[in-house]
A = this chain, B = another copy of it.
Amino acid sequence: MSNPYPPPPPELRSWRHFVAVAQELHFGRAAARLAMTQPPLTQSIAQLEALLGVRLFDRNKRRVLLTPEGQALLPDALELIARAYALPERARAIAGGEVGRVRLAFVSTFGYDRLPAWVRTYRDQHPQVTLELIEATGDLQLAGLEQGQVDAGFVLHAPGFVPKGMASLPVATEALWLAMPHNHPLARTPAEQALDLEQVWREPLVIFPRHSLPSVYDAVFGLYHSVGQSPQVAQEAVQMQTIVNLVSAGLGLAWVPQSVTQLRRPGVVYRQPWSEPVLWCETSLVWPQHMKRAAVLGFVAFVREQLSPHPA
């Protein structure tokens, strides 16, 4: 329950009239500029002065001058009017997605891929949109998306997977490769030759915890189960960098997205275990299904455009 407002202030119209007369110092010309006639303008000014209790013009039937009070008020009135004119434009800019804020999360692996270039291009094209970048793992992103602290995120998951309540746009699909210590027997297999899978199944794994990437985790485990095996987890770690480092320390093998193979570490070699990949993962842009904010939807559209540009 809130108190009724105090009596409303003069409408913008009155101030527009004031400004016009103040600038023209002539009721007739000011009226013309306001697309009206002189008498109602005279009345409007008189009414404004009465409402304020302040005389704004020193006028006789021949000349019009601003009083000191009028002079002092003119800048404020101009400011008010400028803001009033700016508001509708701002409204349209917000609605059009040209103004706003996008809080964009991304998994670390994507942060070194196309993201930097996209961010740059997007910022150039949408200078009035604040693009906040947040590096986070997929599960944290989803929590943030659900609770509204994040607007959209680049996440990793099994191909085709779409988190509940989210819309998604696949950005890249890559095979999973095997990362292994360079001194591991499997690493001695010639590059063109398929790996000894029987040996792979039995090696301990370094893998992300299930909660951080469930669909990929399940795909890996599903593959093992499909050949009657059960993977032995040597160590869990969230970040791909950490996983690779643990592999380099000899804790076991790891399944990693192909893009991670660009992450050179001494003591680690990456191998594609099959001629035709069997395990895949997908990076996609994810955002809340019911997202309404134009700036966010605009960002999604921007990414879509980057993926399949329409000729101009």
Contact = CB atoms under 8 A, between A and B. Distances in A.
A118 to B, nearest CB: 23
Nearest to A24: B2
A33 interface: yes
Contacts of A85: 6, 9
Contact of A83 (B23, B83, B91): B83
Interface string A208-252: 000000000000000000000000000000000000000000000
Q: Which of A35, A80, A87 has the most CB of B within 10 A?
A: A87
A51 interface: yes
B79 A83 contact: yes
B88 A10 contact: yes
Given A51-B88, A69-B294, A84-B80, A33 B13 contact: no
A95 B70 CA distance: 9
B91 A54 contact: yes
B68 A294 contact: yes
A84 B52 CA distance: 12
Interface string A1-43: 0111110111111011000100110000000111100000000
Nearest to A81: B9
Given A4-B33, A5-B16, A94 B80 contact: no
A293 interface: yes
Contacts of A92: 52-54
A132 interface: no
Which bracket fits the contact residues of A? 35 or more
A100 interface: yes
A4 B87 contact: no
Interface in A76-114: 76-77, 79-80, 83-85, 87-88, 90-92, 94-95, 99-100
A72 interface: yes
A13 B53 CA distance: 21
Nearest to A67: B292
A43 B5 CA distance: 20
Given A2-B23, A2-B33, A69 B51 contact: no
A109 to B, nearest CB: 31
A73 interface: yes
Nearest to A20: B5
Given A73-B90, A87-B73, A95 B53 contact: yes
Given A95-B69, A292-B67, A76 B54 contact: no
Contact of A9 (B3, B12, B55, B293): B12
A252 B137 CA distance: 92
**Top 8 A-B residue pairs of the complex, sorted by shortest distance between their CB atoms:** A68-B293, A54-B95, A9-B84, A52-B91, A54-B91, A72-B94, A11-B11, A69-B95
Interface of A: 2-6, 8-13, 15-16, 20, 23-24, 32-35, 51-55, 58, 67-69, 72-73, 76-77, 79-80, 83-85, 87-88, 90-92, 94-95, 99-100, 292-294
